[in-house]
Amino acid sequence: MDKKENCSGELNKKFAAVCGLYCSACSWFIDTTEEPERLKKLAAELNYSAEESVCYGCRSDKRLPYCKRCKMFDCATERGINFCSECEEYPCADLKQFQSAMPHRIELWDNLERVKSHGYEEWLREIRENYICPQCQTINSTYDQKCRKCGRNPSCNYVAKHKQVIEEYLKRK
């Protein structure tokens, strides 16, 4: 699949990770699709090549090495389920540990419950609003404190809501 096919359509399930993350608001996805120079910097921080850092979403053929090794993705595939919240063992220890590790995962439980109760298409329609800049409509990641395009601070509703936790995390990095 080419880049255009991978990235078209906000309601594409490729942008809905099995764990409840929104791939379109991931720094790696954003940098892959919009900011290749920023992707090179991000890749260098983790000793990845620019090519292996390319990621088009959880369910795509081209994923970041970390995402290729994802326990939740492999588990969901083995169990024949689309999202962790469909599992009889939800929430498992692996998912709990994953959720608690980083600020972009704070709303994971709410996301998965919304997917379960309203379907991933409805959730994708709603979740996008969490990450778009109210001023210029650019999608930003949790770690974009200021909007990538217009500089608005905070960059989006998610950052505004979780600003303190995000700032504390970034200071420790």
> pTM of the prediction?
0.89
DSSP 13-50: GGGB-TTS-BGGG-HHHHHHHT-HHHHHHHHHHTT--T
| Predicted local distance difference test score (pLDDT) of residue 139 | 97
pLDDT of residue 10: 55
Domain boundaries, the chain: 3-132
Residue ranges for the chain with pLDDT beneath 50: 1-9
**Contact (CB, 8 A) for 165 and 106:** yes
